[in-house]
Amino acid sequence: MQNHPVFTDNDPQTEYSTLNLGPTHPATHGVFQNVLTLDGERIVSGVSTIGYIHRAFEKIAEHRPFYQITPLTDRLNYCSSPINNMGWHMTVEKLLGIKMPKRVDYMRIIIMELARITDHIICNGVLGVDTGAFTGFLYMMKYREDVYEIYEEICGSRLTTNIGRIGGFERNFNHIAFGKIRKFLKEFPPALKEFEALFNRNRIFVDRTRDVAAVTAEDALSYSWSGPLLRAAGVDYDVRAMEPYSSYEEFDFEVPVGSNGDVYNRFLVRNEEMWQSLRLIEQALTKLEKEPSDIFHADVPEFYLPPKEEVYNNMEALIYHFKIVMGEIDTPHTEVYHAVEGANGELGFYLVNDGGRSPYRLHFRRPSFINYQMYAPMSRGMLISDAIINMSSLNIIAGELDA
């Protein structure tokens, strides 16, 4: 670049080229458009366009009973849908004042931490692919499959899980599910270790990612970043630690923090979070052993959908089923904000209720939407290849971006 015969760095350029990165570009892993103004390979300015898969979830949610909103939340961050499902269940339970049995809390923690691991597997694996290392991605995807099989055993589906119900789980974890969780806990750590060995001190990877897209803590806070991105910038904000939900306060885990918020730091923070998630799952399994093994939901018949066999054979279950489905039960006339630590940051549900069967207003605080707005401003002056890996490490999920 410096010795180019026509354009040099000192040359005051007046003509730039425009590049449409997206809406469907294989390097962006989703439907985002960025119109970039380029000076050679360097980005002068960019404009992000989003909304390609906007599905009006907030509007739909105003017309659906609470239990039918769970499948909508699946489709926010579809790489870790169980966290969204649980976040929504907990919001409604907070609204209704339902207290969960400890065993359900621990089961939820297992599922949420498994989901966090799958999400970070995708993000860090794909970051490897984008920097030219395909092997790590393939190693790690096997374990995402293992987690999906655990979901399958518990709720029957894999990606958009609709796992759990308001008031607990739809069914108890069976021994196959527990077997698969234990198998995962045994087999995943060596693979994660191998993955770290492939990347953490790999000269090519470190040179490619260190000091790329570094973000100061002030900027990260000003842009309302949360989750691994904010922690990589050096702010130890984790909803699980600050405002514990689902009995996280009983657990022993650490909140990894980076230093300068670059792509390498984000990668390390996510890797460390996977280790912490494994710790949490192990502790939850130990705690589960002390709880009565037949409890998997709270005793709230007026909000917890009864099993189908009982609906057909039991008068009370039939009545409750009818009342729940038809929205005959009064709910408090109030508003609630509940946040969970999603894989990408603070996933918040702001629910305004007017006492009916569906929310008067439901707003999702979607971390991807809020994290992504810094992308265009921070790309200024960056090489286009750096902007690509920056986007990978932001882990923007189109479903969560557009809602």
Q: Which of 243, 282, 302, 310: binder of another protein (CB under 8 A)?
A: 243
Which residue of 100, 339, 340, 343 would you call a contact of another protein, by CB under 8 A? Answer: 339
Q: Which of 76, 92, 374, 391 binds another protein (CB under 8 A)?
A: 374
94 binds another protein (CB under 8 A): yes
Q: Which of 225, 245, 248, 304 binds another protein (CB under 8 A)?
A: 225
By CB under 8 A, which span of 120-128, 168-176, 313-321, 327-335 interacts with another protein?
Answer: 327-335
- Using CB under 8 A as the binding rule, whether residue 308 contacts another protein is answered as no
Task: Tell me whether strands 361-365 and 335-342 are parallel, antiparallel or unpaired.
Answer: unpaired
The size of the interface with another protein (CB under 8 A), counted in residues, is 46
Strand 17-21 and strand 42-49: the pairing is unpaired
Q: At what angle do helices 102-130 and 263-289 cross, to 10 degrees?
A: 150
Nearer to another protein, 185 or 325 (CB): 325
17 strand-pairing partners: 38
* Listed ranges 57-65, 172-180, 186-194, 283-291: which one lies at the site for another protein (CB under 8 A): 57-65
Task: Tell me the C-alpha to C-alpha distance, in Å, between residue 31 and each of 23, 336, 391.
Answer: 5, 32, 12
- The answer to whether 68 and 359 have CB atoms below 8 angstroms apart is no
Farthest CA pair distance, the chain: 86
**Count H helices, E strands: the chain?**
17, 6
Structure tokens at 171: 């069914």
User: Which of 62, 149, 153, 291 forms a contact with another protein (CB under 8 A)?
Assistant: 62
Phi, psi of 338 (to 5 degrees): -130, 135
Check binding of 262 to another protein (CB under 8 A): no
State how far the alpha carbon of 326 is from the alpha carbons of 281, 303, 312, in Å: 37, 12, 17
Token pair, residue 74, equals 């699946």
Identify the CA nearest to 328 among candidates 363, 357, 350: 357
Nearer to another protein, 173 or 369 (CB): 369
Q: Which of 121, 235, 269, 397 binds another protein (CB under 8 A)?
A: 235
With CB under 8 A as the contact rule, the residue among 8, 24, 200, 222 that binds another protein is 222
| Dist CA 110 CA 10 (whole Å) | 56
Q: Which is nearer to another protein, 166 or 374 (CB)?
A: 374
330 is a contact residue toward another protein (CB under 8 A): no
Instruction: List interacting residues with another protein (CB under 8 A).
Output: 50-51, 54, 56, 58-60, 62-63, 94, 219, 221-225, 235, 237, 242-243, 326-328, 334-337, 339, 346, 348, 350, 352, 356-357, 360-361, 363, 365, 369-370, 372-374, 377, 402-403
